[in-house]
Chain A
Amino acid sequence: DTEVTQTPKHLVMGMTNKKSLKCEQHMGHRAMYWYKQKAKKPPELMFVYSYEKLSINESVPSRFSPECPNSSLLNLHLHALQPEDSALYLCASSQGVAGGPLDYNEQFFGPGTRLTVL
């Protein structure tokens, strides 16, 4: 199984709601990532987990809270979002981790969750 799955595919939420995005991979990858992508823009890194520990937080506002319950799952908890947070949220995984062999650094992306904040 070389697939990264994300749920839900679409999410509409109000600014006072609390919701969660979920990501799952069963490739045994040791690194997992959250990216945010606005229309006509490239993906922007938000968080990196390595061996289930948060290794990079790109100064993301605290209304976004990542969680890695186990090596296959990655969640992104959302609370009190703003309309400008509307975007495609992409999850990715890689076998490679920082400092490891470069050959394993390709990232496998999920299809994304299209988030709309009203």
Chain B
Amino acid sequence: SQKIEQNSEALNIQEGKTATLTCNYTNYSPAYLQWYRQDPGRGPVFLLLIRENEKEKRKERLKVTFDTTLKQSLFHITASQPADSATYLCALARQAGTALIFGKGTTLSVSS
């Protein structure tokens, strides 16, 4: 069955450093991958979408890479701030559709 793993449940870093979150998947060949941010008690918020034929995508301090050979995506936040503290979820869509399967998420804590 399709499986998505986010290696770290929790990641603690200092303000100003780069946070790197990992998402691995198996038994799947997704057309694209998405990253979402979720704050406690709130719905996820879309951050970035990267297609299977894209190696890297950037948005302000965020960078996502997608390696379909390794079946892995890396999500980077540069110059991290305490306001970046949240749970980050990677998500794959099944088949060619829009129904998402989410990884368990990584909770990032940025200390000042």
Q: Which residues of A contact B (CB under 8 A)?
A: 4, 31, 33, 41-45, 48, 56, 88, 90, 92, 94, 96-99, 102-103, 105-112, 114
Contact (Cβ within 8 A) A96 B102: no
Answer yes or no: B100 CB below 8 A from chain A CBs: yes
Q: Known contacts being A31-B98, A42-B105, A48-B98, is A102 close to B46, with CB within 8 Å? A: no
Query: Do A42 and B95 contact each other (CB < 8 Å), given the known contacts A105-B34, A111-B43?
Result: no
Q: Cα distance A91–B95 when bound, in Å?
A: 21
Contact A45 B46 (CB under 8 A): no
Q: Is the CB of A42 within 8 A of B103?
A: yes
CB-CB contacts below 8 Å: B54-112 with A? 89, 93, 95-105
* A102: contacting residue among B32, B41, B89, B104, CB under 8 A: B32
* Count of chain B residues near A, Cβ 8 A: 24
B21 to chain A, nearest CB (A): 14
Which applies to chain B's interface (DSSP): helix, strand, loop or mixed?
loop
Q: Is B44 an interface position by the 8 A CB rule?
A: yes
Query: Are the CB atoms of B101 and A105 closer together than 8 Å?
Result: no
Q: A102-B32, A102-B49, A102-B51 are in contact. Are A110 and B43 (CB under 8 A)?
A: yes
Cβ contacts under 8 Å, B99 to chain A: 33, 45, 48, 56, 98
Contact A107 B46 (CB under 8 A): yes
Report how far A32 CA is from B104 CA in the complex, Å.
22
Q: Are B43 and A97 in contact (CB under 8 A)?
A: no
